[in-house]
Structure 1
Amino acid sequence: MIKIAIVNYPNALKSALYGLEELFLLANGIRSPQLLPSLNLAQNPLEPNDELASSASGSSSEDTAKPIFDVSLIDWSSKTASKPFGQVFDAIILPPSLGSDFYLANETASFNTLNLWLIEQHKQGAILSSACAGAFLLANTRLLDNRPVTTHWQLSQKLKTHCPKAKIEDDKILINDKDIITAGGLMAWLDLGLELVSVLTCPSLMRQLGKQLVVDTGHREQAYYQVFKPNKHSDQSVLACQHYIQQHHAKPIKVGDLTQLTHLTERTLLRRFQKHLQLSPSEYIQNTRIQSACDLLESSNLSVESIALKVGYLDTSAYRKAFNQKMGLSPSQFRQRFASKD
């Protein structure tokens, strides 16, 4: 069988722990004997009275497939819990977290043993994977250096500081880099679980599982769900520019307007924007306009053209292009997906 370890570390999201466990157990149940003939499966069949397995696979209890996944919940939240040293897993999952106490506290004995265990499992061929803040635990192994990785978009700046050599792509819901797979949002553990099913077995089983769960197994981007929230800082000149842009973004704004407001040179203003916001003034203005457009697309019945003018774009085609580049969807597609149905 394919051995999966789901790590229950301190503050790990419980719904993800048990949801992932049940996802793989469901995958065991829906597999028909004809679906994966090339897999070398264990000999112990599912229980004959497993109604879910029979109904989902369309098979009778006599020909129900043998289980594919052997799932273990590994308790790393307790000092006294036994650890799986000596076992080798095919894939290890680090779920999201509701707090940063553990994954940022790189001093505890429990933290250090988990770190060493992940490195050793990776050396022995295990796929290491994470969802949301679980990426910080992967980052601590240094295995993310010079590799593409995603996490929740609100944590991306913190992860960049924590692991500066990683190539963080926070617009992605999921990045499969073969032996390292990372997923973005708090609920992206579902995307991660489906991807592991596909990688460890075959895409057809993943699609069947998606239908059973009634979830979309198609391509998504985390950019669809991002909300533009500027970093907090104490630079009064940059804050003055931010307030000005927020109030006047529907009108033409030039960098010269901001230098006049702050009495700074253009070079100094650009440097301070990059330092505190990781954006140029022009990028900040565009992000503010796109966020305002998103709010209007979700909450109003205004046409796409009217919204473009209302948020500061005189050229509708330029607005559509900028929106698509930032959000990964056209304005119309965004409205269709996220607009209020009230």
Structure 2
Amino acid sequence: MTAKTDSLGSLEIGLLHYPGAQRAALHGLNDLFSVANRVAAELGAVELPRVRVSHWQVDEAGLLQLLEDSPGTAGQPLRVLIIAPSLESTPALELLERHRQVLRQWHGQGTVLASVCIGVFFIADSGLLDGRAASTHWNYAQALAQRYPKVRVEANQPLLDDGDIMTSAGLMAWTELGLRLLERYLGASVAWETARYMSVEPVTRPMPGARFNPRLDHGDEAVLRVQHWLQADGAQDADLAGMASCAGLEARTFLRRFRAATGLKPTEYCQQVRVGRACRMLEFTRRTVEQVAWGVGYQDPGAFRKVFQRITGLTPSEYRQRLALGCSG
């Protein structure tokens, strides 16, 4: 399921500047999204939102400053904040602490946080990756694991899209991250043509069900709080009572508001989260299907197989076989 964007509106993407941030990535992302706007216009995609890029900085007092803004109508909530890589070593603790509260505030308002290379240290320091998987450059994987032991470091994954947080590994992974965002919000055609125009590796077509792109821009803080909990926990321990309690709502009210905000019933949402994580396990581990089922919270592997096939159109074994064959269709 793809996150909704407002037609004829704008898709607000922020780029975070900090001492040592790679300028090539900041300027390159700005150019990539500018090309995407041109491509969308040439394709006649008049109902797609126009990408607006803003540049941000946190000063020494921890206050947020807007450095630069794209032309056009402002005022939309920031949909994505990208933390660029750096050519320097791991960020100093003082620098990370300065950004901690700002990142938590942005994330709490529904902004997707995305990092390239060691930009992940900023997100990890905020505590938002505790208990969750994250990717970073192989040269910094050990440092990330040692400094933040609650983070599951998976440096073998070039890009890890976990719905509300995206992390990528290589120093030049900003191109793949930018294209993935275009694919997520503007569709595969715009992403593909943008990649072709820039002569970079095109976005690969994902296997069915491998990505779940939840809607986070609905403005319902109670529902968003539950979504963040489900994404962080993998929806393993979720039940209606627990979700309603997390939202601070009566169960019936929670059900109504959750579906209105996300377009899914809570059970459907949890299934999407679990199947997305199962897809990653099938691709990057050698666990049996039964072990994968248990790993994502299903006690009954048979029930897991039925849910998995309904969402992806494939059985778990077929899904793994397709990956082994290198098939992306």
TM class by shorter chain equals: 0.5 to 0.7
Q: Distance in 2 between matches of 1:217 and 1:202?
A: 13
Give the counterpart letter for 1:2 in structure 2: L
Residues 229-259 of structure 1, C-alpha deviations (whole Å, 9 max, x = no match): xxxxxxxxxxxxxxxxxxxxxxxxxxxxxxx
TM-score, normalised to structure 1's length? 0.51
Q: 8 Å contact 1:92–1:126 — kept in the other structure?
A: yes
In the TM superposition, 1:150-299 aligns within 5 A as 150-219=135-204
In the alignment, what sits opposite 1:116?
101
Q: Which has the higher contact order (CA 8 A, sep 6+)?
A: 2
Q: Distance in 1 between matches of 2:324 and 2:58?
A: 40
TM-score, normalised to structure 2's length? 0.53
In the alignment, what sits opposite 2:313?
none
What's the C-alpha RMSD, in Å, of the aligned pairs? 3.1
Change (3 A) 1:186 1:329: farther
Residues 88-137 of structure 1, C-alpha deviations (whole Å, 9 max, x = no match): 41000001012236x232x35xx434221111111111110000010101
In the alignment, what sits opposite 1:135?
120
Secondary structure of the 1:74 match is strand
Cα offset for 1:158?
Answer: 0.5
Give the counterpart letter for 2:17 in structure 1: N
Secondary structure of the 2:32 match is helix
Change (3 A) 1:210 1:172: same
Q: Distance in 2 between matches of 1:34 and 1:126?
A: 28
Cα offset for 1:77?
Answer: 6.8
Secondary structure of the 1:99 match is coil
* Residue among 93, 98, 101 paired with 2:82: 93
Q: Which runs of 5+ in 2 are unaligned?
A: 1-9, 68-74, 206-322
In the alignment, what sits opposite 2:38?
29
Change (3 A) 1:118 1:150: same
Q: 8 Å contact 2:14–2:82 — kept in the other structure?
A: yes
Rg larger for: 1
Secondary structure of the 1:181 match is strand
Q: 8 Å contact 1:4–1:72 — kept in the other structure?
A: yes
Q: Which runs of 5+ in 1 are unaligned?
A: 42-67, 221-327, 334-342
**How many residue pairs align between the two structures?**
193
Cα offset for 1:170?
Answer: 0.8
